[in-house]
Amino acid sequence: MDHDLRDVLTQVGGVARCVSEFIRVTERQLPDRVFLRLMPELAHGSRTRAGTPVRAQLLGSDPCVMADNAGALAALGAEGVDLNFGCPAPTVNRHRGGAVLLDEPELAHAIVAAVRRAVPGHLPVSAKMRLGNRDHSRMLEAAQALVAGGAQELVVHGRTKLQGYRPPAFWDLIGRVREAVPVPVVANGEIWTTQDALRCRAESGCTDLMLGRGMVADPGLARAIRGEPAPTWDELLPLIEGFWQRIGQRVAPRHRAGRLKQWLNLLRRCHPQAQQLWDQLRPVAQPEDVERIIMKTAAAPAPG
């Protein structure tokens, strides 16, 4: 998720750490302004406003260029560097990035090793991977290559690139990775509810979980997994307002309504009130009309 959603969702609580959107690097070291635009938390101790650490994620296939950019992030105060070997997007994969690198364990190892050498020893280097590219036949080989290169933690998404985001996620195979490497493994994929979290932990053997779309759909999910009370809709409404104000500062007017609807589209999986707000906003495109509807919703008395 981008920094606007990171800022909003970490205010709900329950999140130990975030990872930035991947920062794509190709032929050169990116200027600091690009890093700060994609991850403005770098200017604030690599923390969201709620104080949650954010780790910068890089995606690329050239070890030297990846190392240069990792070093630049470290100089800007990144909490750590995460390396993306999991993106299934065809555009990224065609340019030798993301999950296709799982078919090249030697190159994946070289990338991690170069990044590990480029950043100070106290900064963690982690990696995100899938179960494989087209199948999971090289899953363990890829995981072991990443760890041998210096990855101190693996986040494993329980599907191959070919499987995309289609259910199910194969949490039991994440468990096989966990057993094969000597570093912490974080399980990821299809965790939408506390019941999913419990099953994922049982099948993978992993204690730690990474939440993606599940957290966007249910901002209280991390708290619920920890056994804490989930926020009510009335508690979420100010965050929705805050998100709208944040995107108004940097997103072109013609795209603002779409960004809010995108979030509401997921929120309505868990909150019937989000469905009602989405229905009102669906035909609306002008920011002033969106603003009017949000303000009216926020001012309405709670039912009962």
Q: For position 271, which CATH number holds?
A: 1.20.225
Q: Maximum distance among all alpha carbons in the chain?
A: 62
- CA angle 84/77/48 to nearest 5° reads 75
Same domain, 32 and 144: yes
State how far the Cα of 107 lies from the Cα of 112, in Å rounded to an integer.
9
Same domain, 65 and 191: yes
Buried b (16+ CB within 10 A) or exposed e, 150-177: bbebbbbbbbbbebeeeeebbbebbbbb
Token digits for 115? 């990044």
User: For 31-70, how does the pLDDT look when each residue is reduced to its tens digit (9 = 90+)?
Assistant: 999 999 999 999 999 999 999 999 999 999 999 999 999 9
What is the reported pLDDT for 302?
61
In a domain, 68, yes or no: yes
Same domain, 76 and 176: yes
Query: Could you tell me which of 153, 149, 154 has the C-alpha nearest to residue 130?
Result: 154
Q: What pTM was computed for the model?
A: 0.94
> Are 72 and 110 spatial neighbours (Cβ–Cβ below 8 Å)?
no
The CATH number covering residue 62 comes to 3.20.20.70
Percent of the chain having pLDDT more than 90? 93
Which of the following is catalytic: 18, 64, 87, 206? Answer: 87
Say how many domains are in the chain. 2
Domain edge (last residue) among 225, 251, 282: 225
Domain edge (last residue) among 225, 257, 274: 225
Known active-site residue 270: no
In a domain, 304, yes or no: no
Q: pLDDT band at residue 299, thresholds of 50, 70 and 90?
A: confident
Same domain, 127 and 274: no
Buried b (16+ CB within 10 A) or exposed e, 80-92: bbbbbbbbbeeeb
What is the reported pLDDT for 119?
98
Same domain, 280 and 145: no
Same domain, 221 and 237: no
Give me the residues paired with residue 15 across strands.
none
Domain edge (last residue) among 209, 225, 241: 225
State how far the Cα of 287 lies from the Cα of 265, in Å rounded to an integer.
18
Look up the domain containing 258 and give its range: 233-299
